[in-house]
Amino acid sequence: MEPLRIRSTESAAGRSVEDVYEDTNRGCEIMKEYEYLKRLGKCISNGSVRGEILDEYKAHLEDCREALMENGMSKAEAEEEAVRQMGNPEEAGNELNQIHARVLDFSMFWWMMFFAFLVPVFEVISRLVTAGKYGIVGFMNEYQGMNQIPLQVHLVIGTAILCYGIILSIWEKYSGKELFYAYGRNWKGSYLTNSGTVMALAGLICSAAIPVRGFVKGMIGVFAATVLNIIIRTVMNLIRNRRERKYLWEIGLADTEITWNGKGTICGGNMKVRARASEEGAVIPSGAPIMVVSMEGFKPVVIAI
């Protein structure tokens, strides 16, 4: 079967795997290099490092090809020999996957643990401001009955906030949001949000039900919320990585015009996709052949080919 010939377009400008295809006349040898990167990438489950690894391998292929051409080889011969010298892509990919097989969201873990360590700090501050009968919090507790809030109220409020945090955490991973992000209709009405902060607050409120005295119960509550959030995000990472391995470098067809949003058929399935560099005005017309070059959360990012 004759290898597929791939060419890049102006809308796919930028440094990525399509840069390998500098000339539409390179034909079959292009497919060999492209196929090597595709097979290598599908063996690496950790999406956070996959792009960096492929960029490094791509640079090695280019350096090797240039060196061989300086020794008298033609472009086609140098391309083929460079790919051959790189070895078996599955073996290399499986070895790299064992080295970089990380799916835990450590950034979120340490952010939430920061709140856990803040609990004793606030406890000390609270004791200072409530010293004596007329301390600020002491006054509220004694005269406003703040210390008489039923346990059930803590649990209802804490559980409601926790459920919101869980939904927010799933949505963050699904849409590919960073640890901190602004959300709103525009910058004037936006706000900075983060599921870790929401779930840490929920854990702190629910900690009232923990049968432990002092600030330790607050730390336990936040830590429990942290574990729950990390489990959720780990599961989402595993699902996303599997999806990325399935669709990365696959070729499909644009069902609609694709900018920052659109639809395409990839691997026989119709799904939402985004054009790479859409924030810079890149547009892929309806009916154009496309290739997946990265993922934005669970959404494939494509270029025209």
Q: Are 51 and 134 found together in one domain?
A: no
Higher pLDDT, 76 or 202: 202
CATH code of the domain in which 253 resides? 2.40.50.140
Q: Are 1 and 40 found together in one domain?
A: yes
Q: Are 55 and 146 found together in one domain?
A: no
Residues 6 or more apart whose Cβ sits within 8 Å of residue 22? none
Q: Are 28 and 55 found together in one domain?
A: yes
Question: Where does a domain end: 57, 81, 102?
Answer: 102
The CA distance from 26 to 34, in Å, is: 12
User: Average of pLDDT values for 132-157?
Assistant: 62
Q: State yes or no: pLDDT of 176 exceeds 90.
A: no
- What pLDDT, on the 0 to 100 scale, is given for residue 29? 38
**Domain count across the chain:** 3
Q: Are 77 and 187 found together in one domain?
A: no
What's the pTM? 0.65
Model confidence band, residue 161 (pLDDT cutoffs 50, 70, 90): very high
DSSP codes, 216-260 = HHHHHHHHHHHHHHHHHHHHHHHHHHHHHHHHTT-EEEESS-BSS
The mean pLDDT of the chain is: 77
Q: Are 181 and 257 found together in one domain?
A: no
Q: Are 285 and 171 found together in one domain?
A: no
Question: Where does a domain end: 84, 102, 120?
Answer: 102
Query: Which contacts (CB < 8 Å, 24+ apart) does range 54-59 have?
Result: 54/17, 55/15, 57/86, 58/17, 58/19, 58/20
Q: Are 32 and 86 found together in one domain?
A: yes
Question: Where does a domain end: 83, 102, 121?
Answer: 102
Q: Are 86 and 110 found together in one domain?
A: no
Residues 6 or more apart whose Cβ sits within 8 Å of residue 213? none
- What pLDDT, on the 0 to 100 scale, is given for residue 270? 93
- What pLDDT, on the 0 to 100 scale, is given for residue 25? 33
User: Average of pLDDT values for 81-85?
Assistant: 83
Q: Are 54 and 118 found together in one domain?
A: no
Q: State yes or no: pLDDT of 132 exceeds 70.
A: no
The domain in which residue 36 lies consists of 1-102
The CA distance from 285 to 289, in Å, is: 9
Q: State yes or no: pLDDT of 96 exceeds 90.
A: no
Q: Are 151 and 267 found together in one domain?
A: no
Q: Are 49 and 175 found together in one domain?
A: no
